[in-house]
Amino acid sequence: MPELPEVETVRRGLAARLVGRRITHVTVRRPDLRRPLPPDMGQALTGRAVQGFGRRGKYLLVHLDSGSVLIVHLGMSGRLSIDTAPSGGAHEHVVLHFDDGAVLRYDDHRRFGLMDLTEAARLEEHELLRSMGPEPLAADFDGPALAKRLSGKDTPIKAALLDQRVIAGLGNIYVCEALFYAGLSPRRRAGSVQGKRADRLATGDPGRAGSGHRSRRIVAPRLCAGVGRARLLSAPLRGLRPGGSALPRLRLRGRGASHRAERALDILLR
């Protein structure tokens, strides 16, 4: 499932191409995604200009000049493609046509994604967004802020970080990597991650702009044609230490995890 860095990559790419463009018409081929599309979505989008692209956690936000916001979640297999014509493929469910001839296609063979409309003034109250935690890319997100979110929690740290009510946008891949580089076991009690441990985890979190976006850790497989296709996993995500030997594996609440062995950081820094 696309995580915060992938959705942010898509957001930046779409913003560079489509801000200021006007939607001339909308083609809906299948309205039955994870949840039904709004019945008036085509009418609400037609004739509207795109004012900007935002993001909240794993959700892409398309701000329109009408004051409405289109909320998009890519689910497990959703893909946005900027092209000059619809593909007509079996999994092409929604197509937005723009005044410059461009089209934005949404393909999703599993149909786990979703789209919804709301008003910008009520965006934070939307049922999909209202309970979400803080953004790890926010300027005020640091070790103390993370420690406060984790304080008193008895769940494993990995489970806590995957909880979108604690921190928005992180998923299994980046949580595993963040814990690896912070030197923390995914089984550690979340409430015990305080002080320097929280500082280490917050500053080394691959959701941060300095790592997920500018280092080799970004993973954006086929999410948006012409926007972001990098796929280069760093060692802990492949289940390997930097030297090539296998990392221990475990399962927590049904999710797989690689975690560092004793003094694995020493190996990493050699």
pLDDT digits (tens, 9 = 90+) for 181-202: 899 999 999 999 999 999 999 9
Among residues 42, 48, 50, the alpha carbon closest in space to that of 16 is found at: 50
Residue 251 pLDDT class (50, 70, 90 cuts): low
231 or 244: which leads in pLDDT: 244
Q: Is the pLDDT of residue 35 over 60?
A: yes
Do 175 and 74 share a domain, yes or no? no
Q: How far is CA 249 from CA 184, 241, 245, in A?
A: 14, 12, 12
Residue 187, number of CB atoms within 10 A of its CB: 14
Contact 162, 175 (CB under 8 A): yes
pLDDT at 229 over 80: no
Q: Which domain holds residue 148?
A: 143-206+234-268
Please give the single-letter amino acid code of residue 147.
A
Q: How confident is the model at residue 161, as a pLDDT?
A: 96
Regarding whether 148 and 76 lie in a shared domain, the answer is no
Catalytic residue, from 2, 136, 156, 236: name it: 2
Considering the domain architecture, whether residues 84 and 166 belong to the same structural domain is answered as: no
Q: Is 2 a catalytic residue?
A: yes
Q: Looking at the whole model, is its pTM more than 0.75?
A: yes
174 vs 237: CA distance, rounded Å: 8
Query: How many domains does the chain fold into?
Result: 2
Taking 90 as the threshold, does the pLDDT of residue 116 lie above it?
yes
Say whether 197 sits in a helix, a strand or coil.
Answer: helix
Q: Is the residue at 86 inside a domain?
A: yes
Distance (Å, whole) CA 129 – CA 175:
21
Mean pLDDT of the chain: 82
- Give pLDDT tens digits for 38-61: 999 999 999 999 999 999 999 999
Of 125, 151, 167, the position where a domain reaches its end is: 125
Q: What is the pLDDT of residue 175?
A: 92
pLDDT beyond 70 at 208: no
- Would 165 be classed as within a structural domain? yes
- Report if residue 18 sits inside a domain: yes
206 is catalytic: no
Distance CA 206, CA 9 (A): 13
What pLDDT is recorded for position 218?
29
- Six-digit token string for 146: 């993370």
